[in-house]
Chain A
Amino acid sequence: LVRPKRPLGPYDTSEAITPWAQATTYNNFYEFGTDKGDPARMAASLKPRPWTVRIDGEVKKPQTVDIDTLQGWFPLEDRVYRMRCVEGWSMVMPWLGFPLAALIRRLEPTGKAKYVQFTSLYDPKQFPGQRGNVLDWPYVEGLRLDEALHPLTFMAVGLDGRVLPGQNGAPLRLVVPWKYGFKNIKSIVRITLAEKQPQTTWALAASDEYGFYANVNPAVPHPRWSQATERRIGELGRRATLPFNGYADQVAGLYKGMDLRRNF
């Protein structure tokens, strides 16, 4: 495992990084199948190059851009983030990528832009899980513009200094570390700046269980299980889940005055 030693940045956690073997074999990526092992087993069917990303909606420069061109616009940075799945497990992931804010600023949103919508690839040939209708395909996700512009919000193109593996969302995925993992949409082909709040796949599937915000919140249980604790992958016991997944100091201000029980 080759990792350049570097001092921790202001956004990094110093917690032990989840080993590569576990971070790349225990994944929720229903496009490959619903079993946690399916993404790693089926990842070879995804072709992350050539790949284009369409950028449209409320931007001054709508365009379709090649992934290598897009990631070449920004210096790539490492970010060691906690990742908390809504199912009650967590990992520490060494992402490689660039802040979403840098991309959005480059696109010059119009005054009407209030939200960002993301769309995953729809191609049942590359994503065998899309041959069934477990979810409405393609997978869509969204953020409020201020969430999208937050310096923690990240677009990952790599993991642990390497190109992002297919099972982890190659070639381009969203990482919002204070939200449940399902917000982190993978294999993105389209980014749309929007005036209205976009629909999101899991809210469409079960609106009483998965909301638009999906901020990690130990005080708001999932209807079927508690969110008070989590298992860090690699550990046997459970640990307490922290509000906003431990990023409350940085992001709680985004939700000032909001009822987080209703906006779950």
Chain B
Amino acid sequence: MTRAAARSTRPLPWLVPAVTVGGLFPAVILGLDALTGALGANPIQRATLQTGLLTLTLLVLSLACTPLRLLTGWTWPARIRKALGLLAFGYGVLHFGIYLLDHGFTLSQITEDVIERPFVTAGFTALLLLVPLALTSRRDSVRRLGFERWTRLHRLVYAAVWVGTLHYYWGVKKDHTPPLIYAAILAALFVIRWAVRRPGRQGRVGSGRAVG
């Protein structure tokens, strides 16, 4: 038991670097695929799709950290949340960058897309919502904003992930199964947060380690 306790409090110094390197790995593969022509007949479309999926997946993973901590009492998920969130933002920026490249950085066409096509509006909005979160992800941001305000600001991620999922749903031509799977996972994560945090279960959650 003491060994288990010791393990759960171990600082795991490799954890965040491992998540960061692992999270950047798909970008390296994407770059190599682009150079070797492995992205197929329509590489820009493939790269757009892959970076979009990576953005959403990493965002969902970052939102899985708290439910996982609540369910298991482990503390390490909270420590990789920021890295996952920043990786998601990075892929979102890359996704948008590839979209800009796709349209030859033609401002008129891009503005028209953002304003007139809900599919693009949603994607653009989701990315915009992530910008203040990325800007306040520094270690001293919490202190400077105050914990309360920082937490409230970072609730924007909930809006961003749902709008992002809607963007994915609208982007699919016919088979809506994959975006609906994302939506189902998100819904499940929110149900877990809600169920575990319900009054009456607080005590059990508060002493998370005792659960294990």
Chain A residues close to B by CB (< 8 Å): 22, 25-26, 30, 34, 36-37, 87, 89, 132, 134-135, 205-206, 221, 223-226, 228-229, 231, 233-234, 236-238
Interface centre among B40, B119, B120 (most CB of A within 10 A): B40
Q: Which of B117, B170, B174 contacts A34 (CB 8 A)?
A: B174
Docked-complex contact B102 and A238, CB < 8 angstroms? yes
**Per-residue contact bits, chain B 4-28, to A (CB 8 Å; 1 contact, 0 not):** 0000000000000000000000000
**Per-residue contact bits, chain B 34-55, to A (CB 8 Å; 1 contact, 0 not):** 0000001111110000000000
Docked-complex contact B174 and A236, CB < 8 angstroms? no
CA distance A257 to B118 in the complex (A): 32
**A-B pairs with beta carbons under 8 A, tally:** 56
The 30 sampled A-B contact pairs (Cβ below 8 Å) are: A22-B41, A26-B42, A30-B174, A34-B173, A36-B41, A37-B40, A87-B173, A89-B42, A89-B45, A132-B175, A134-B175, A135-B174, A205-B174, A221-B117, A223-B117, A224-B119, A224-B120, A224-B170, A225-B113, A225-B117, A225-B120, A226-B112, A229-B109, A231-B42, A231-B44, A233-B42, A237-B104, A238-B102, A238-B103, A238-B104
Docked-complex contact A26 and B117, CB < 8 angstroms? no
B208 interface residue per 8 A CB criterion: no
Q: Smallest Cβ distance from A195 to chain B, in angstroms? A: 30
B171 interface residue per 8 A CB criterion: yes
Q: Smallest Cβ distance from A55 to chain B, in angstroms? A: 30
With A134-B174, A224-B117, A224-B119 given, is the CB distance from A36 to B104 under 8 Å? no
Chain B residues close to A by CB (< 8 Å): 40-45, 102-104, 109, 112-113, 116-120, 170-171, 173-175
With A224-B119, A226-B112, A238-B103 given, is the CB distance from A26 to B173 under 8 Å? no
Q: Smallest Cβ distance from B105 to chain A, in angstroms? A: 11
CA distance A231 to B175 in the complex (A): 23
Q: Smallest Cβ distance from B69 to chain A, in angstroms? A: 36
Q: Smallest Cβ distance from B106 to chain A, in angstroms? A: 9
Inter-chain contacts of B173 with A (CB < 8 A): 34, 87
Interface centre among B41, B116, B117, B170 (most CB of A within 10 A): B41
CA distance A237 to B119 in the complex (A): 22
Q: Smallest Cβ distance from A235 to chain B, in angstroms? A: 10
CA distance A176 to B27 in the complex (A): 40
Docked-complex contact A26 and B109, CB < 8 angstroms? no
Inter-chain contacts of A37 with B (CB < 8 A): 40
